[in-house]
Structure formats: structure tokens, C-alpha cells
Amino acid sequence: MLVDADNVAPPRLQPVLDLLDSVDDRRVVASGRRRALAGLTWPPGSTLLEHEGWQRADLALATAYRPDRDPLVLITGDGDFGLLAARHAGPVLVVSGAASGRLRDSATVVDPAMEGMDPIKQWLAATGVRPAQ
């Protein structure tokens, strides 16, 4: 999971973090300003990359990305991640309140504040991601 902490409001982000906290073998990498990162409760083992300034957080997340066929959760609305989502070999879920068209073209997009958590749970189940027992 790659999290653009500056781009998604905490009320949208925290329920997703709480849900994914129960998933085995998850990898969470988040980048953003110190205040954005500190305002959330992160799953144990999350990598938090503090960056400020235009595009620095995005670049840190792009660098942390590992190409594979596993499901990828992107928590961002930033169209800069559109190419990454389009080229990812596995399924991609974007969690955002205002995802760019570039993200909508290549991923499933869910706004948990408007749609609730069920669509995210369904996507996880459909891609084989299961909560820890």
C-alpha cells in the first residue's frame, strides 16, 4: 500500500488503515508532511517518509513502489500516480475523495467517506487479500 498522506483527508484514510491493519503480509509506505503523518494511527511496521515540498512525497512513494503482480492499494487522488497504476501488473485499488481521471482509467476507485468500507472489503476479497486469522 502506498499512501500520499498529504492528498487524502484523515477521515477517509484512517478507516482504511484500520482495515488493512488486520491483513497479513501487508506493506505500508506513506509519505507526506510531518503533521499529516502524525495525525493518523499507522499499522505496525509502516514505513513513514517525511517529505515537504512540491512532488517530494510523490517521488518518495514512486521510489518505494515495487513492481509485482500482487494487489496494490494506492491512497491518493494525484494523477501523477496514473502511469504507475496503469503499468502495475496486478489489480489496483485507489482510495480517494477526488481521484484524477488518470487514476480512474486504470484502477478501481473507492471513496470510503461516500461509499463506506464495503467496496474496499469486496475488492480485497476478490483479489485474494484476506484479514489475518
pLDDT digits (tens, 9 = 90+) for 53-101: 767 888 899 899 999 999 999 998 788 888 899 999 999 999 988 888 8
pLDDT of residue 102: 83
pLDDT of residue 80: 82
Q: To the nearest 10°, the Cα dihedral for 81, 51, 67, 44?
A: -120
Identify the helix (H) or strand (E) that includes residue 3: strand 2-4
pLDDT of residue 105: 84
Q: Measured between alpha carbons, how far is 101 from 67 in angstroms, rounded to an integer? A: 22
pLDDT of residue 70: 92
Position 133 pLDDT exceeds 60 = no
Q: What single-letter DSSP state applies at residue 59?
A: H
Residues 103-127, mean pLDDT to the nearest whole number: 91
Query: pLDDT digit string (tens) for 43-54?
Result: 999 999 998 776
Q: What integer best gives the mean pLDDT of the chain? A: 88
Residue 131: pLDDT band with limits 50, 70, 90: low
Closest alpha carbon to 48 in 29, 70, 73: 29
